[in-house]
């Protein structure tokens, strides 16, 4: 079966085929940098990363653009309150966001585009829309007249036929029941940042930024446009209206949306105050970034995921089980030979893993295939049925797993020992033991323990793990 995705636009699971057969052009909506991102936001950003990885597993090259919204109502409110320039204020949170992405092992999009660096292009696009008769002005702001775009509602599958023509909305986020003409360009207000452009002074609305940057870098029609489900309306609906009015071409072929991370059944959000940042969970509560990544990746993206601390602990246990299995595979002394049954089981596990991912990123099923294999292989090792020539193919199963889930390598604690340091110290200890310098060997063990590294001498050699 080919790679396939659920497309919000068609409400169907469809085989994926990009316009250019080798390269996928993809745009994903990035963060609004007015505060630290929370792990609800990161569910969506992890989803983008998984999407990248499954596309690469299918042999595609990627041209992926993600925006940073560094001008909007909330940013301006906060920057003004703190007496900071817009860029001073947003630089802090942009850097924190990119650091957090790296900690969660999210692949970097090929291009990260900041809204404030594309104001001239946004003004030009609005001017073009004005010339085409899609806009009107009121009190220095420019609005998109949604009645001029007959396809309005096709992404969110709403019939906006009964809406009041000419009613306007100035805020960037609003409810479906509030479908109105939206602001492309907002009039300057005293004390707020604004830009002088060909369409007059002011600042862009949120929606126009994504349309303009996507078209600028990826062309009129994208293969994939993605975001969280809360962006379907109004943000993505408005993006389609602006872009397609501008170019006369379909804006994106596949629209993918990830469901929410929930707390007690409610969306994790800043406004509800029910959120955790990476800092809260890792620095203050001692959870590992891998556990968070695993938890966010383990539930298929179109299902709601309820966040609990127990869930995070289970994620850590699952990772431990896989790491221990890997250590066992690497260090076990196995009898010579090949057990055909396990050669087949490895191949089947790899196939089932890939098929689950190609099925609209069914990560739960992909994990089930891996754990089933680990269970069988562990039993076989206990029974002596697992032979030396089965090692490589079993390690290949884990390699496939980790090329996607990317959780097997432990994160070194800040300022702590790297894996190379640890391997070096273990080699030193082994040499000391050989030379019967037991004091030195014990000293190395104690030194490692102090750094949270536990050594285990097994009949197959030395294994280590982090406490
Ligand atoms: P924002 O920084 O508010 O623009 O949000 C950035 C991204 O996070 C958007 O794509 C949202 O859809 C997504 N998002 C916000 N809250 C959640 C949540 N609780 N679960 C999943 N995604 C979320
Ligand atoms: Zn966007």
99, 105, 106, 108: CA torsion to nearest 10: 70
Our answer on whether the CB atom of 228 is closer than 6 Å to any ligand 1 atom is: yes
Our answer on whether the CB atom of 227 is closer than 6 Å to any ligand 1 atom is: yes
Q: What is the pLDDT of residue 419?
A: 78
Q: What is the pLDDT of residue 461?
A: 81
Residue closest by Cα to atom 21 of ligand 1: 260
Q: What is the pLDDT of residue 451?
A: 82
Residue closest by Cα to atom 14 of ligand 1: 41
Residue closest by Cα to atom 5 of ligand 1: 31
Listed in sequence order, the residues at least 6 apart from 282 whose beta carbon sits closer than 8 Å to its beta carbon are: 103, 288, 289, 292
Our answer on whether the CB atom of 267 is closer than 6 Å to any ligand 1 atom is: yes
Burial pattern 57-76, b for ≥16 Cβ within 10 A else e, equals beebebbbbbbbbbbbbebb
> How far is ligand 2, taken at its centre, from the CA of residue 94, in Å?
16
Mutational test site, ligand 1, from 228, 239, 255, 295, max ligand atoms within 8 Å of CB: 228
Q: What is the pLDDT of residue 101?
A: 98
Q: What is the pLDDT of residue 164?
A: 62
Q: Which atom of ligand 1 is nearest to the CA of 229?
A: 12
Mean pLDDT by 10 residues, the chain (467 residues): 96 98 98 97 98 98 98 92 94 97 98 98 98 96 94 91 75 80 95 94 97 98 98 97 98 98 95 95 94 98 97 97 96 94 96 98 98 97 95 98 97 76 89 91 89 83 81
Is 107 in contact with 54 (CB distance < 8 Å)? Answer: no
Radius of gyration for the chain, computed over Cα atoms and rounded to the nearest angstrom: 26
Q: What is the pLDDT of residue 162?
A: 66
Residue closest by Cα to atom 15 of ligand 1: 41
Q: What is the token pair recorded at 59?
A: 């042999």
Q: What is the pLDDT of residue 453?
A: 87
Our answer on whether the CB atom of 230 is closer than 6 Å to any ligand 1 atom is: yes
Whether pTM exceeds 0.95: no
Our answer on whether the CB atom of 40 is closer than 6 Å to any ligand 1 atom is: yes
Query: What are the two backbone dihedrals, phi and then psi, of residue 276, each rounded to the nearest 5 degrees?
Result: -125, 140
Residue closest by Cα to atom 12 of ligand 1: 228
Q: What is the pLDDT of residue 464?
A: 85
Our answer on whether the CB atom of 94 is closer than 6 Å to any ligand 1 atom is: no
Residue where the block lists tokens 């609305």: 205
Our answer on whether the CB atom of 65 is closer than 6 Å to any ligand 1 atom is: no
Our answer on whether the CB atom of 27 is closer than 6 Å to any ligand 1 atom is: no
The helix-helix angle for 237-247 and 119-131 (nearest 10°) equals 70
Of 221, 304, 226, nearest in space to 259 by CA: 304
């Amino acid at each position: 079966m080919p790679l396939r995705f659920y497309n919000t636009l068609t409400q169907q699971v469809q085989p994926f085929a990009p316009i250019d057969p080798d390269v996928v052009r993809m745009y994903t909506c990035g963060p609004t940098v007015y505060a630290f991102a929370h792990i609800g936001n990161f569910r969506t950003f992890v989803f983008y990363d998984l999407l990248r990885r499954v596309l690469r597993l299918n042999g595609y090259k990627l041209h992926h653009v993600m925006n940073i919204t560094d001008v909007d109502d909330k940013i301006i409110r906060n920057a003004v309150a703190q007496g900071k320039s817009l860029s001073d204020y947003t630089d802090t949170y942009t850097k924190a966001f990119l650091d957090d992405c790296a900690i969660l092992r999210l692949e970097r999009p090929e291009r990260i585009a900041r809204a404030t660096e594309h104001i001239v292009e946004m003004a030009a696009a609005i001017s073009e829309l004005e010339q085409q008769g899609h806009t009107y002005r009121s009190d220095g702001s420019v609005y998109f007249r949604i009645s001029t775009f007959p396809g309005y509602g096709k992404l969110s599958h709403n019939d906006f036929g009964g809406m009041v023509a000419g009613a306007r909305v100035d805020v960037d986020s609003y409810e479906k029941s509030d479908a109105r003409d939206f602001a492309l360009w907002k009039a300057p207000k005293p004390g707020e940042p604004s830009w002088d452009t060909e369409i007059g002074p002011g600042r862009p609305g949120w929606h126009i930024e994504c349309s303009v940057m996507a078209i600028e870098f990826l062309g009129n029609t994208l293969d994939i446009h993605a975001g969280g489900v809360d962006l379907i309306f109004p943000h993505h609906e408005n993006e389609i209206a602006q872009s397609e009015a501008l170019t006369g071409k379909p804006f994106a072929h596949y629209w993918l949306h990830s469901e929410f991370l929930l707390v007690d059944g409610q969306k994790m959000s800043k406004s509800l105050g029910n959120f955790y940042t990476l800092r809260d969970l890792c620095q203050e509560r001692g959870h590992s970034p891998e556990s968070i990544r695993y938890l966010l990746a383990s539930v298929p993206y179109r299902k709601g995921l309820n966040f609990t601390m127990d869930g995070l602990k289970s994620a850590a246990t699952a990772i431990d089980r896989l790491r221990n299995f890997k250590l066992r595979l690497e260090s076990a002394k196995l009898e010579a030979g090949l057990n055909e049954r396990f050669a087949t089981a490895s191949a089947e596990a790899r196939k089932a893993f890939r098929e689950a991912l190609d099925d609209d990123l069914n990560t739960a099923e992909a994990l089930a295939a891996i754990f089933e294999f680990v269970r069988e292989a562990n039993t076989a090792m206990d029974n002596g049925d697992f032979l030396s020539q089965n090692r490589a193919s079993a390690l290949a199963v884990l390699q496939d797993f980790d090329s996607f889930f990317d959780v097997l390598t432990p994160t070194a604690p800040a300022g702590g020992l790297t894996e190379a340091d640890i391997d070096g110290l273990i080699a030193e200890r082994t040499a000391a033991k050989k030379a019967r310098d037991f004091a030195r060997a014990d000293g190395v063990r104690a030194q490692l323990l102090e750094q949270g590294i536990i050594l285990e001498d097994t009949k197959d050699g030395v294994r280590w793990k982090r406490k």
